[in-house]
Amino acid sequence: MKMCCIIFRCLVLLIMEFLPFLFGETIEVSIFLIMPDSARLNKKLKNALAESYYTDIIRDLKRSKTYSGVIKQSSRIIDTENPQDILDLFCENIFKEKVNTILYFQLHPTKDPTPNYIINMAEYLRIPVISWDSQFPGALENKQDSTVLQLAPTIYHQCVLMIDIMKKFKWTNFAIVTTTTFHYLEFTSAIEALVKEHNQRVKFDRKSRFNLLSSIVVNILPSDNDTVIKDKSREAFRRDNKLENRVFLLHANSHEAKDIMEVAEELELTGKDYLWIMSSFCVGFLRNPNAPRVYPLGSLGITYTTIAKDEYEEKLLENAIKTSVRLWVETLKEIYTYRNQYQISPNFSCESQQSLQQWRDGEFFYQLMKNVTLDKPTPVQFSENGVSQIVNLRIVNIQHLTEKYTTRQIWKEVGRWVPVESEIKNKAKMMVEMSGITWPGNSILPPLGKPEKRFFRIVTLKEQPYVYYLDKGAQENCVPPSVPCRVMKDKVISTNDSSLQNNSVVRCCAGLCIDILTVMSSRMQFDYELYEVPDRTWGLPDQGTGEWNGLIKQIQDHRADMVLTSLKITPKRSEVVDFSIPFLETGITIMVSIRKGNISPTAFLEPYDYPSWCVILVFSVHATGAAIFISEWLSPQGLNRGATPLREHRFSLFRSFWLIWAMLFGASVSTDNPRGVSSRFLSNVWALFALVFLASYTANLAAFMITKDEYYNLSGIKDWRLTNPYSMKPPFKFATIPNGSTEENLRKNHYNMYQYMQRYNRPTVDDALEALKRGKIQAFIYDATPLEYHAGNDNNCELKTVGEKYAMTGYGIAVPKKASYLEEINEVILELKENGELERLRRFWLAGACHMKRKRGQSSHTIGIPNFTSAFILLASGVLLGGLVLLMEHLYFKFGRRCLRKYDKNLCCSLVSLSMGRSLTFEQSVMKAMARQKLKECKNPQCEVSLWKERHSHDLSLMYINKLREQLESYGITPVEDTITKPQICDISLKHNGYPNTSHFRHHNAYKSVENRQESHQLDSYDSTPVRWKRKCLKRSSSYTNAVEVARDEISDKHKVRFSEGKFYIGVDNDSSDQETL
């Protein structure tokens, strides 16, 4: 029966081979299998190819009637490394048989270069290759001219699985251990690329970031024996291994891995805290479950075979052949529809004299094949670079097996790498499934992947706000966030301290750096001892010997593992220590002291510039005043060109100016307003202008009437006062702190400044700030951030940083050269930066009340008398100017009025100033006398009588003078006119208080005599005895200024009357001094 089946298959094959020729079909394609030199596998591979050819090609492809033509399959065993034999293979087999796809299978690792020859030749000719090679190095390459499709799990896949295992158990710190034999560059490159890709994806989650601590590469030659391999491994571990390494990824062949494990056990790297993950090259083909005794218990391995099944290799390759053939058939189906556009099989020949040309349609055939997705017999889905995304990898674990009182180590499968549904189209996703694991040390819990708490000695130095010292609490402990620290004895106030040891005592340290230290100790899991550097210097090399001091020397002498304070990163320091990434930016800046400033004496003028004041106060005021007066002079309702008497409308040029000034400053004073329409309109316009002027002036005056801080506003480190201090008298003094990075920078770049400031340098920052406030120095050059802190937290806000920052750098954490924990420190700092914690600490520690006030524009200075100088100067100037005007007024009345009266015949001065005009007329003199008399009125009878006598005598003298004048005129003699004022008697209407009513006066009869000749005659004939009352007589007003006319019936008995010189005076008390009474 079996023979019949074979015969039937042969007949079918013959019919199918010759059938296309009968119908004229000429398409011929072939698939070619290249096999390794393994007699045990050759028969199995050939049978698998033949079976696949029948099932997939004959039964499926031909029966589907989608393809007809000559389809062949052939195979060849490669047993040579000669390139010429490889060329013969292509010429004699591949070219002649119209092969358009090559299958290459290499199950075991080999150093034979033959696979590379075949693949490179096929890629050059653009012939697609379906490969099953676990050593395939092109998984990371994205070659544009590649025509290889890889079905096997590659080194890259194993690296991805290792990373997934570490993700599952949160092992973020690890090391690579590899030899230089089997593609170690591909292994290390794949791990580094995957770590970089993962860290970029989770950059905001520092806890999940991977940290490749070290790469330990053992350089092995093919001729090295076990002893040499062990020696080289021991040297590599001691050179590159870091103390915190706990997870190792091992890639080497099984023989080299055993030697490496022996050395690792010798160096105590295989205990319960250490985990080893091995690649399939270390594990090998697991034909039996036994594991090498030198492999540590709990180690994990990766393999693509099962355990204890001898025929698994054959089944693996048979399955790969079936998958490859199925993939080829599906591609033929796809390309057959394009047979008129593309050449399905190449047409190469070695007999042609021309050089071989590439199969131009091979790229299209390769792309179609790469896009094929299979579900069976094995799931297949390729990536962009032609590597299968779905692979079958297993995870094995070394465990103890006890049988018949004997314990041995075995490999046990504990997990698989299985595909899961992916959210991204055309991209497979794999997931780790693990269970039943034995962990190192036979523990039931996985190792932490990082060391237990370490211990570091950390040296520091006081620098507010980064590190400063506090006294211990009442219970002799430090209240968080402060931590215990040991400082030098002379830094402590109390000398009796129980913690005194080696001239140092325990205090409490706090500050920004202490907060960072607290976070680092928690994240990096270490304990520490914090102490102050004994010489209390930052660290500079000696100019003669080059020996360092201070903080740097502590690191050099291995007395400290870390420097944590505001230590600046400089090139010279970086030569002897390693720095972390900067946790804060800084530079060199300059601090000066603020002197309490005074308001400028001309502050009230500063709202406008001087040209504006000239336009407003000189031109606008006087031009507008003159315009108002001219309009009033010409207005019929105003002065009407002088026709309106000044007594009726008192308005002049000076009164126009007074109106303008009063309106300008809003003064509540009495003013004379114009009557004309045009002059009133001009006055309203001026009022609007005055409103705008006062509003803008008042609004801007507040900005200038504030105290102005005075300080040396240096432009920077190259300011002329620093580069040439002797240009000022006295010389400009500035300082810094010795043995620091600032002094080092100045010594290197500004040597003259460095030499000059040596005499003024201060030992500490506090001393320098105190000297700055007291004026002993004018500037302090130091690190920017500490100075900004002191400027913001000064008690009286008397400090200020000025100028541009110089020599920008950063503060870093110093560690010894090649310290293994430096990367951990960097990770913590990056995490603090990215989550905003470092910025929060900076704002908390560096902010200050003075900064906030300056930001809001506030000033806390109290305004005193010196700050109000401008107002006092303005008042004093007004007083002096008033005194000068008073002096000029007296000079005018004493000297100027007499001269001016001679020239002012037309009363022009009254148009300019009414006061000046009145001072030149008789009426003004009378009014002044009357006003003076009113102000000097007597308050007792004796004074009144004396004053009455004097005034009565004066009246009689005037009347006698008038009588004499009339007698002279009767004789034809004209008397000479003088300026003596004549009395106004009986014919002038009186006001209530006895003053003459000036409205009856006119300018042209101001000096007219009002003597009543009839009454004068009656007075002359009067015999000085009271015989009878005349119809009219004279009486005195209550002010006794003038004798006035009164009717007889007005006199009553109740009035007290005095008679003298022919006149009756009523309303006067009688006393014994009077000669005649009635």
**Binding site, annotated residues for L-glutamate:** 573, 741-742, 783
The string over 80-107, giving b where at least 16 C-beta atoms fall within 10 Å of a residue's C-beta and e elsewhere, is eeeeeebeebbeebbbebbbbbbbbbbb
Comparing CA positions, the residue from 191, 169, 187 lying closest to residue 179 is 187
DSSP of 346-402: ----SSSSSPP---TTHHHHHHHHHT--B-SSS-B-B-TTSBBS---EEEEEEEEEE
Q: At what angle do helices 784-793 and 837-846 cross, to 10 degrees?
A: 50
Angle at 521 between CA 516 and CA 527, to 5 degrees: 135
Cα–Cα distance measured from residue 9 to residue 499, given in angstroms and rounded to the nearest whole number: 99
* Integer Cα distance of 781 and 20 in angstroms: 96
Residue by residue, DSSP assigns 329-356 as HHHHHHHHTTTTTS-SS----SSSSSPP
Residue 35 and residue 105 in contact, taking contact as beta carbons nearer than 8 Å? yes
| Cβ-based neighbour number of residue 8 at 10 Å | 10
Nearest in space to 52 (alpha carbons), one of 71, 70, 35, 38: 71
Classify residue 290 by burial, with Cβ atoms within 10 Å: 0-12, 13-18, 19+.
middle
Q: Can you tell me the distance from the alpha carbon of 399 to that of 298, in angstroms, rounded to the nearest whole number?
A: 6
Q: What is the rounded CA–CA span in Å between residue 317 and residue 321?
A: 6
DSSP assigned state of 686: H
At residue 132, what are phi and psi to the nearest 5 degrees?
Answer: -125, 95
User: What type of residue is 851?
Assistant: H
CA distance 514 to 1060: 113
Give the start-end residues of each E strand in 219-274: 247-251
**How far apart are alpha carbons 327 and 103 in whole angstroms?**
11
Residue 851 CA from chain centroid, whole number:
15
Q: In what order do the strands lie in the sheet with 28-35?
A: 70-77, 28-35, 99-106, 129-133, 148-150
Known binding-site residues equal 573, 741-742, 783
Distance between CA 563 and CA 651 in Å, rounded?
89
Degrees to nearest 5, angle at CA 947 with 945 and 953: 100
- With vertex at residue 1017, the alpha carbon angle to CA 1012 and CA 1023, rounded to the nearest 5 degrees, is 130
CA dihedral 1039, 1041, 1046, 1049 (to 10 degrees): 30
CA atoms of 741 and 786, how far apart (whole Å): 14
From its phi and psi, is residue 436 left (phi > 0), alpha (psi between -120 and 50) or beta?
left
Helix (H, G, I), strand (E, B) or coil at 114: helix
Edge-to-edge strands, sheet with 483-488: 468-470, 504-510, 483-488, 526-532, 454-460, 562-563, 814-815, 578-579
Residue 1005: phi, psi to the nearest 5? -125, 35
Query: What's the N-to-C CA distance of the chain in angstroms?
Result: 190
